[in-house]
Structure 1
């Protein structure tokens, strides 16, 4: 490594990078679009087109373009060949510029996300390239994304389920088309349809082992639609949040009934909906919507890296059902349950609500939601019609009339 690519003592050594011809040609094209003296900046140095203006002999008006390299000291009168050699000594910084300016391009969510993956806005080229050489891992929902760099400074990305971290590629189903992810997110590991793409139920067993920057972004956005876009809007201070009341006011048809669920009782019912649907255990988004512009919900919005800007269709659909159920008048019932049976009913509800039923072993009858123990409770307490044997103690007769 030449002195030009030496790094500070507190920075790691940059891996050997060969400057590809397309990156060098991109530098020449960028300089050709600039006025002489208008520098193109890289980390630690800059390059400008001199057009012979720095030479003492100004008689040769047809002299070819010459280049100026500023890196603390100023080198002038560089030929294209000289410039190529100089930039080859600084290939890491040049390929870093090329990767984001030419390969990724636009200043938007894709560029911001790919730079975030390798902390490009906080770490130096030397630090990042050394880390990329080993592989930089980032989590995005249930995904593990690993960014690496080739000896030509090209970014490559491995996208897989976090549960498959460390699994060899040949042990997984490998894909190279990011649109193949549409099939991977449709069903959970039990073959059940996933209506909510940000639910923590993404099945594993697959990998996109060698994606370029644009394809990596497309794969992530296909698996978790609009999450990068909304994450970027939030970072830019432009996330447009639509709160509960505004969302429900837009509902019509069979969903219009949800608008009737404000009965002067505050927003307690919305807290119940949010606790049921928007907890981290149910959705990987971080809820940013509230009851309205002035009223926050009492339930925590979660810790997800990407924000939720409005109640989703799953929340609206569930709220419609609960609106109808909550319109029923409460009644009081008297049941005979032993203290252990009361605790068992509570344990069954908790296990179902938390999705832990499959974790309870058939032989573990200490668990209240154990299948055999639950069947015993049903056999003991249900009547021949399958009803929990209880006695109404409320004003049932008046309600029925």
Structure 2
């Protein structure tokens, strides 16, 4: 459903807390006058709880000359005719509603992803201005992937945003590396905390120890989109019912060059392999997106798509690249080997695979030899089972297989 605008019908009123004292900025008042000048007399500009219109021209003196009552304010009672000076005083008394209109209509602007996202941050479509301003005075926190975004309001109704890693929530600004240019985020997302390149920007491997402590609305949006490209845009498309999803088969059919080999994987083999790809790459532990693509329009995958706040509309480049490698590996003719393992060694092999797949190797202490993926236990198993050339000493169960090599 489309986002309601800042001048939509008034939301229900309840026992809201008192909003903070707000001074009406001259820019906001001038913006109201400009907006009214663009409207016909009598066409109201609506705020939460009241409206303002230019006065209708009348001939009160009966001398044939048109005069204007300037402005008409309506707040549920009898409309009040006001001069420009009186209008300024009346709007100053209603500064929270006026500055809220000004922020979204003039500072944020355009009806699109940016506006929808910034309104979502403070629940602008579900809470009254008074409730939101009271909450903003304390700071409204929202999660977006691994980000923690805190929205606040100044005594002039301006929005300010603190954007940081969720792990750094509550850390004083002076203990973090502070930035003010949202494009600086490009360097922050390139490597993880161990200095390894991050090919997938939505992987849950964002490094911390930084903060954008005082961003305006447009810069806050730019910082988030730089850290997680296209996530707000796709989130907004989904909310509007306009998310265009490209499923696996369609995405693979348009691959060419070295990636064209992936199309051979679909020849009469069903889609079990796509389940393996999705389980390997698209699980919540590997990507913060929520997978919306399936095998095709009529065939869902058996693997859960995750529960991230922003959707994934098509197989990404990381998935395609990995699928190309797996296509080649899976094209090999299977062989059966016989290994001699104790029950504990079989469990150890399983533990090692799980630990590597889940990225838990660094969590296993060297002294903890109870863990199957412990480094010393793995080295012992290698010393026992590998030959001098570093090969696992398995024996093909079919002697002809060995001859074919």
* Shorter-normalised TM range: over 0.9
Match of 1:347 in 2: 351
Aligned to 2:289: 285
Asked if the contact 1:331–1:395 (Cα under 8 Å) also holds between the matched residues in 2, the reply is no
Which of residues 25, 31, 41 in structure 1 aligns to 2:30? Answer: 25
Contact map agreement 2:57 2:66 (CA 8 A) in 1: no
The answer (yes or no) to whether the contact 1:68–1:74 under 8 Å persists in 2 is no
**Superimposed CA distance per residue, residues 37-80 of structure 1 (whole angstroms, 9 cap, x where no aligned partner):** 00000000000010454x84454836465110000113332000
Aligned residues: CA RMSD: 1.6
CA distance in structure 2 between the partners assigned to 1:100 and 1:399 by the alignment? 75
The superposition leaves residues 227-272 of structure 1 with CA deviations (integer Å, 9 ceiling, x where unpaired) of 0000000000000000000000011111000000013221100000
CA distance in 1 between partners of 2:356 and 2:65 (Å): 83
Identify which of 197, 200, 207 aligns with 1:203: 207
Distance 1:63 1:167, change over 3 A: same
Cα 1:67–1:59 change in 2 (3 A) is farther
Q: What TM-score does the superposition give when structure 2 sets the normalisation length?
A: 0.94
Matched residue, 1:270: 274
Describe how 1:163-202 pairs up with structure 2 within 5 A.
163-202=167-206
Matching of residue 372 in structure 1 with residue 376 in structure 2? yes
Number of residue pairs aligned between Structure 1 and Structure 2: 394
Provide the rounded CA distance (Å) in 2 between the counterparts of 1:395 and 1:168. Answer: 68
Matches within 5 A, 1:1-400: 10-53=15-58, 56-57=60-61, 59=63, 61=65, 63=67, 66-394=70-398, 396-397=400-401, 400=404
**Per-residue deviation, residues 99-122 of structure 1 (Å, max 9, x unmatched):** 000000000000000000001011
Q: Relative to 1, partners in 2 of residues 1:124 and 1:331: Cα closer, same or farther, differing over 3 Å? A: same
- 1:59 and 1:39 mapped to 2: Cα distance? 28
Q: How many angstroms apart in 2 are the aligned matches of 1:390 and 1:182?
A: 48
5+ long unaligned stretches in structure 1: 1-6
User: Structure 1 residues 74-83 or 18-27, which shifts more?
Assistant: 74-83
Specify the SS of the correspondent of 2:232: helix
Deviations 1:327-350 (A, max 9, x none): 011111111111001000000000
Between the aligned partners of 2:398 and 2:134, the Cα distance in structure 1 is 72
In 2, the alpha carbon distance for the partners of 1:10 and 1:208 equals: 34
SS at 2:120's partner residue?
A: helix
- Where has structure 1 moved over 6 Å in runs of 4 or more? none
Of residues 55-64 and 85-94 in structure 1, the stretch that sits farther from structure 2 once superposed is: 55-64
Gaps of 5+ in 2: 1-11
CA separation of 1:338/1:398 partners in 2, compared to 1, >3 Å: closer, same or farther?
closer
Q: The residue matched to 1:320 in structure 2 has which SS? A: helix
- 2:78 aligns to what SS in structure 1? strand
SS at match of 2:344: helix
Shift of 1:159: 0.3
Q: TM-score, normalised by structure 1?
A: 0.95
Structure 2 CA distance, aligned partners of 1:61 and 1:164?
A: 67
2:28–2:98 Cα contact (<8 Å) kept: yes
Deviation at 1:190, TM superposition (A): 0.5
Deviation for aligned residue 1:396: 4.5
State the partner residue of 1:4. none
Q: 1:59 to 1:343 in 2, by over 3 A?
A: farther
| 1:8 shift after superposition | 6.2
User: What SS does the corresponding residue of 1:114 show, helix, strand or coil?
Assistant: helix
What do residues 134-165 of structure 1 show as CA deviations (whole Å, max 9, x unaligned)? 00000000000000000100000000000000
- Cα distance, 1:329–1:70 mapped onto 2, change above 3 Å: same
